Amino acid sequence: MSPAEAQVRIIALRSEISHHDSLYYRRAQPEISDFDYDRLKRELADLEKQFPEAVASSGGASPTAQIGDDRTEGFARVKHRQAMTTLDNTYDEGELRDFHARMVKAFGTEELAYTVEPKIDGVAVSLTYEKGKLTRAVTRGDGEEGDDVTVNVRTLRGLPEKLTPPADLLAGALPDLIEIRGEIYLRDEEFRRINQLQEETGEAPYANPRNLAAGTLKQLDRNLVKSRRLEIVLYGLGACEPEPTALGIDSQTAFQEKLRAWGLPVVEKFWSVLGIDAVVSAIRELDALRRKFVYATDGAVVKLDAFAKQRVVGFRGTDAQGRAQEARKLSPRWACAYKFAPDRAETRVKAITIQVGRTGALTPVAELEPVLLAGTTVKRATLHNADEIARKDVRVGDSVLVEKAGEIIPAVVQVLVEKRPPTCEPYVFPTSCPVCGTPVVRAEGEVVWRCPNQECPEKVKRRIEHFTSKACLDIDGLGEEMVDLLLKQGLIKNAADIFDLKVEQLLPLKKSGEIWAGNLIKGIAARRTADLWRVIHGLGIPQVGAASAKDLARRFRSLDALVESSLDDVIKIDGFGEKTAESVRAWFNVPANRALIAELQHAGLNPTPPVATASAGAIAGKTIVLTGTLPTLSREQAAEKIEAAGGKVSTSVSKKTHYLLAGEEAGSKLEKAKSLGVAVIDEAEFLRLLAVGDSGE
């Protein structure tokens, strides 16, 4: 390659990489896989090294000398006390050994202590704890300054507002201020749940849990954030006052132990080892274990253990020409990320079929030549939607690469265009429903095409299947096949008909099926009084999963009350965003849906409301004032709990106040409460009261 050609390629790569950076960090909707992205970036870094003169005349900053910037509109920006960096990474064991060789050169010994940690594929954040209390959460941003996401991070389950102080003084006190770095992630099952809702409502599904976590963390609707169960795992140290050594933290291993002692969520396992061979075997162990972890991992992070040694080698902060940039830290020289190549395989697309979902969404699926991938045989892979097929230009007959991350459904990541047979025609997405022939529609701003026919046999079937499924009415013996058979025989037309089935009607379906038919009818009859939330879930209201159905059951306690509820009533439920509430109301406003409810009731469906609900609890209807600092709950959390239990939070103490919930350093409110004879309770008492009304599902 000539310098002139190199320059052209460098400019092209820079713009391509910037494009992918913006999609990945700001919009959380990347177009290419990480593996392919890393290849582009490596190509650019190599060219920049090889042709420094071409770099000099290309102008502008290179993505190789920057940290991917995640900052977006709508968030306050906060400077990190200590910069957040990225990691140098490799897919190659040889390069990992080169890293070790550099350390050996710096310290003159092979016997170097390292930690090996899982590399969590989440969204990087920095938490600040001041005097043991969580005060701030900030995204990595450009490394120097990130977005303030404190409000959203406070919704995370499993993240303590306070650090557990050491049991004995010898263990060191809590730091005055500490920045703790970690990753926010979503579990696979939560990822799947949300993606299903996305698809049902016609929004683009997320490609993987990391992107969904990133997209969620940057939501401005706190209720939406809360409804998605984000979690966090912590592993890194930023600024610390006093010096970490004063707290007994002089290595990554000691820091890991401290995180555990403080009660923070941490990695399941890390290794403290001596020398590079031990590093390599720890990475092998990690690779064998990592699929069992609750978060996705994409590699191992190897760190020089001793902080004193880390300080000696410092950070990479130079651009491609080796010039130092103004104190901009890019990545530590004392760490190296070894990435695991994704599980990928090459196969061929035999056909593209279209699935029609419960809400009519048309989902294209690639039917594949069976191929072994991550230990399982893969025959089908999702193609998501029409836009995705067009973007990747997937055609029947194409050779493709399929990738499987964790337990996630395999996806076609790339078409091998060079292997395309000349007869391959571009795929044409159907313009009518493959099942009922109705022309498909696409709502404005949606990516999903739908069959709009409410009577579409496939939709009807899927609605009934959902209604009788384990997750909903849980009717024994009424699986997908039986529902299909009953529909084909004309014995049912909708979910309500199930309750009118007679033994005589079922007898012809099976040879000597008396016992079977009798049991099925008995089973169906027993579900007439199923839990209310199961019935609500079974209705298949868009956006309403089991958790929301439980909330609705707790709040309304009967189908009639739910049918008659107003948008306002629904919005007020804790955890319900406007979107969910609107979706609920829209569903009940459809005459056919109301008719179905009437039919169900007519057929004897009489669901059981939750046993002990919040409205029967000790907090329900009570006015509570908060004061002082509580030992574990933040004010926000306490207020939320009160409202969720049907109580009211008030700011000032009066004769109408039922309880004053008082923590440490309670001031004038405490005196006033005492003078008015208002009951004063502490956090423990408060939690006991809450528990009184919380036994119902």
Ligand X SMILES: NC(=O)c1ccc[n+]([C@@H]2O[C@H](COP(=O)([O-])OP(=O)(O)OC[C@H]3O[C@@H](n4cnc5c(N)ncnc54)[C@H](O)[C@@H]3O)[C@@H](O)[C@H]2O)c1
Is 303 marked within a binding site? yes
Tokens encoding 54: 């071409």
Binder of residue 456, out of Zn ion, ligand X, none (CB less than 5 to 8 A by kind): Zn ion
How would you classify residue 665: left for phi > 0, otherwise alpha for psi between -120 and 50, otherwise beta? Answer: left
Sign of CA dihedral 44, 48, 53, 55: positive
According to DSSP, residue 162 is labeled B
Least distance between ligand X and beta carbon 242 (Å) = 24
CA 184, CA 424: separation in Å to the nearest integer?
Answer: 43
Site membership for ligand X, residue 117 (CB under 6 A): yes
* Identified binder of ligand X from the candidate list 236, 360, 538, 647, rule CB under 6 A: 236
Chain positions 317 to 346 lying near ligand X, rule: CB under 6 A, are 337
Stretch that binds ligand X, among 26-34, 357-365, 398-406, 532-540 (CB under 6 A): 26-34
* Identified binder of Zn ion from the candidate list 451, 492, 549, 660, rule CB under 5 A: 451
Least distance between ligand X and beta carbon 21 (Å) = 5
CA 541, CA 546: separation in Å to the nearest integer?
Answer: 11
Binder of residue 7, out of ligand X, Zn ion, none (CB less than 5 to 8 A by kind): none
Residue with smaller CB distance to ligand X, 207 or 394? 207
Site membership for ligand X, residue 301 (CB under 6 A): yes
Residue with smaller CB distance to ligand X, 119 or 555? 119
Contacts with 670 (C-beta within 8 Å, 6 or more apart), sequence order: 627, 628, 660, 662, 680
Binder of residue 661, out of Zn ion, ligand X, none (CB less than 5 to 8 A by kind): none
CA atoms within 13 A of residue 534's CA, in its CB half-sphere: 21
Inter-CA distances, 328 with 123, 231, 324, 539, 632, Å: 21, 30, 8, 55, 38
* Identified binder of Zn ion from the candidate list 456, 486, 495, 642, rule CB under 5 A: 456
Active-site residue, selected from the candidate residues 41, 119, 218, 550: 119
Least distance between ligand X and beta carbon 348 (Å) = 25
CA 177, CA 516: separation in Å to the nearest integer?
Answer: 68
Q: What amino acid occupies position 42?
A: R
Taking a C-beta distance cutoff of 8 angstroms, is the pair 631, 663 a contact? yes
* Identified binder of Zn ion from the candidate list 286, 320, 433, 530, rule CB under 5 A: 433
**119 catalytically annotated:** yes
Least distance between ligand X and beta carbon 89 (Å) = 5
Site membership for ligand X, residue 119 (CB under 6 A): yes
Tokens encoding 417: 């265009």
Binder of residue 32, out of ligand X, Zn ion, none (CB less than 5 to 8 A by kind): ligand X
Site membership for ligand X, residue 517 (CB under 6 A): no
DSSP annotation string for 120-138 = E-SEEEEEEEETTEEEEEE
Taking a C-beta distance cutoff of 8 angstroms, is the pair 630, 661 a contact? yes
Interface mask (CB under 5 A) for Zn ion, residues 392-431, using x and -? ----------------------------------------
CA 512, CA 529: separation in Å to the nearest integer?
Answer: 30
Kindly list the strands in the beta sheet with 623-627, ordered across the sheet, starting from the edge strand earlier in the chain.
648-650, 623-627, 659-662, 679-681
CA 519, CA 507: separation in Å to the nearest integer?
Answer: 12
Chain positions 67 to 106 lying near ligand X, rule: CB under 6 A, are 67-68, 86-87, 89
Binder of residue 436, out of ligand X, Zn ion, none (CB less than 5 to 8 A by kind): Zn ion
The β-bridge relationship of strands 89-90 and 335-339 is parallel
Site membership for ligand X, residue 538 (CB under 6 A): no
Which of 529, 507, 508 lies closest to 517, judged by CA? 507
* Number of residues engaging ligand X in binding (CB under 6 A): 24
* Identified binder of Zn ion from the candidate list 83, 127, 435, 536, rule CB under 5 A: 435
Binder of residue 682, out of ligand X, Zn ion, none (CB less than 5 to 8 A by kind): none
Taking a C-beta distance cutoff of 8 angstroms, is the pair 74, 222 a contact? no
Least distance between ligand X and beta carbon 315 (Å) = 13
Residue with smaller CB distance to ligand X, 214 or 486? 214
Q: What angle do CA 503, 506, 510 make, to 5 degrees?
A: 125
DSSP annotation string for 365-378 = EEEEEEEEETTEEE
Least distance between ligand X and beta carbon 40 (Å) = 9
Residue with smaller CB distance to ligand X, 66 or 227? 66
Site membership for ligand X, residue 32 (CB under 6 A): yes
Site membership for ligand X, residue 37 (CB under 6 A): yes
CA 61, CA 55: separation in Å to the nearest integer?
Answer: 10
Tokens encoding 582: 């609107």
* Number of residues engaging Zn ion in binding (CB under 5 A): 6
Find tokens 């070894």 and name the residue: 338
Least distance between ligand X and beta carbon 210 (Å) = 9
Least distance between ligand X and beta carbon 453 (Å) = 38
Is 35 marked within a binding site? yes
Site membership for Zn ion, residue 436 (CB under 5 A): yes
According to DSSP, residue 614 is labeled G
Chain positions 162 to 201 lying near ligand X, rule: CB under 6 A, are 183
**What residues does 378 pair with on adjacent strands?**
371
Phi/psi for 195 (5° steps) reads -60, -35
Site membership for ligand X, residue 491 (CB under 6 A): no
Is 339 marked within a binding site? yes
Is 640 marked within a binding site? no
Is 436 marked within a binding site? yes
Site membership for ligand X, residue 240 (CB under 6 A): no
Contacts with 447 (C-beta within 8 Å, 6 or more apart), sequence order: 202, 203, 204, 385, 386, 387
Given the rule CB under 6 A, which residues bind ligand X?
Answer: 20-21, 23-24, 30, 32-34, 37-38, 67-68, 86-87, 89, 117, 119-120, 124, 183, 235-236, 301, 337
Mark the binding-site residues for Zn(2+), compressed into ranges.
433, 436, 451, 456
Name the residues annotated as catalytic.
119
Given the rule CB under 5 A, which residues bind Zn ion?
Answer: 433, 435-436, 451, 453, 456
